[in-house]
Structure 1
Amino acid sequence: MIKAVALDDERPALDVLETFCSRLESITSLKSFTRTGEARLYMESNPVDLVFLDINMPKESGLEFAKTVGRQTAVIFTTAYSEFAVESYEVQALDYLLKPFSFERFTSAVQKAQDRVQALRQNAGNAADGEPAHLFFRVDYGLVKIELSDILFIEGLDNYLKIHVRNGRPLVVRMTMKAMLDKLPQTNFLRVHRSYLVALDKIQGIRNKIIAIGDEEIPIGSSYENEFTARFMK
């Protein structure tokens, strides 16, 4: 069940969101605001799963507000301006609804949020019981499930990461290496280079500071060598 916030400086737009949300059993509560400051104040003491957010807001744009929303909260933009679609991807929005949108289109966006909330809660439950067996990554406004046991290594590419998996094509996600390390269990994953993170149990050999995983060769950075040696030999 989803707790949501709607933020728009036009009351008629909020009326539409409230009406649509009232027709969905998955949204248990919705708080509406016309100012970003009021919404932020509410969210500080009332965690929510989803924010419906207009982009063209006074004083602070919806794009700027989205950057302050925590990772656990999904963002769906509701706007009359199609030219901001690229920027919405930069802040990892879950969906982008162009006004006026239909109830069917709205329902599709909410379903994405529901899937994301369910995935996050499932991962949290797994973490409470021990290490998770899989993770979900946001790709093209959707979620992709990756089994941790399938990950071979992860390669850094500027602002993106390429997740190399067993028996499949690499998955490209917009995420920093640090954020990825925070997600992965430390018992089996280790950073060995500024641009590489490996699954220790997938290493097939090491020679001249080069790690062999399948047909790939991964260098060991000098600043990571001591920790890698200690962990791998252990």
Structure 2
Amino acid sequence: MIRAIALDDEPPALRVLSHFCQQVNFIDLQKTFTRTDEALRHLEQFPTDLLFLDINMPSMSGIDFYRVTTQKPSAQPLMVIFTTAYAEFAVEGFTLNAVDYLLKPFTFERFLQAVNKAEGFHQWQQRTDKTDETYLYVRADYKLYQVPLSDILYIEGLDDYLKIHRQSDKPIVCRMTMKAMLQQLPETGRATERFIRVHRSYIVPLNRIEAVQSKTILLAGREIPIGASYEADFFRQFGL
């Protein structure tokens, strides 16, 4: 759900936006404003994803208002859709990376086109905000799998193939080398997302290790050997 507000000095324009937003299930228009100072206070106090912003307003132009909101050090990423009756402002609006520019009076179809752009950007932004370590992407069985790192029990090397053992589902067998897999997996960062190669045929997540006995790792009911060439690095990272 996209959290939105609207700022326009003309109440009829706000009523049109409210009516249109009610017909879109992914836009939550939380509040409308006719005054820039009230809208600015709201943005400072409440998380907001999208701003419908009129450009031609008496106290402060929408362009200047948007610049103020983005120049604050603590400012959160904010999408903007400019609305105005003056087409000459379009170029300046797009130089500020606006999602879209609605020329009044606009139809619901044109409005829907603009908010669909916002939804696409919002989804991309959410994926980008997550660290690369959150998921592993692999191709297997003519599909692209998105595997949460927290779901991986261990990874087993089988010649030119890898077998990704998962907690919640059956293993995924993909054509990939251990070296290529290690390049995709985080070796540092949060403990829940750190992986280490312990054998020429095994990669394990550190947080899944239940016990270490001699040169054997106990993990998910399985005994995984520690290779001689990986032993020193493993014990250093595991803290033994």
Which TM-score bucket, shorter chain as reference? 0.5 to 0.7
CA distance in structure 1 between the aligned counterparts of 2:48 and 2:126, rounded to whole angstroms: 13
Q: Paired residue for 2:16?
A: 16
**Greater CA drift, 120-129 or 44-53:** 120-129
2:73 match: none
- Corresponding pairs, count: 133
Contact conserved, 2:53 with 2:83, CA < 8 A, in 1?
A: yes
> How far did residue 68 of structure 1 move?
2.4
Give unmatched runs, 5+ long, in structure 2: 71-75, 138-240
**Mind listing any 5+ residue stretches in structure 1 that lack a counterpart?**
134-234
> How many angstroms does 1:29 deviate by?
3.4
CA displacement 1:116-163 (0-9 Å, x = unmatched)? 111111111234638x99xxxxxxxxxxxxxxxxxxxxxxxxxxxxxx
Please point out which of 74, 79, 86 is paired with 2:84.
Answer: 79
Q: Which of 97, 100, 103 lines up with 1:98 in the alignment?
A: 103
Q: Distance in 2 between matches of 1:128 and 1:56?
A: 44
1:53 corresponds to 2:53? yes
AA aligned to 2:80 is V
Task: Report the more deviating stretch, 30-39 or 101-110.
Answer: 30-39
Q: Judge conservation of contact 1:21–1:30 (CA < 8 Å) in 2.
A: no
Equivalent positions of 1:81-230 (< 5 A) are: 81-127=86-132, 129=134
Q: Contact 1:7 / 1:53 at 8 angstroms: preserved in 2?
A: yes
CA 1:64–1:101 in structure 2 vs 1: closer, same or farther (change >3 Å)? Answer: same
* 2:90 partner letter: A
CA positional deviation for 1:105: 0.3
Judged with a 3 Å threshold, the aligned counterparts in structure 2 of structure 1 residues 29 and 86 are, in CA distance, closer, same or farther, namely: closer
Tell me how large the CA RMSD over aligned residues is. 2.1
Q: Which amino acid is 1:117 matched to?
A: H
TM-score, normalised on structure 1? 0.53
TM-score calculated relative to the size of structure 2:
0.52
**SS state at 1:111 partner:** helix
1:109, distance to aligned residue in structure 2 (A): 0.1
The separation in 1 between residues aligned to 2:42 and 2:121, in whole angstroms, is: 22
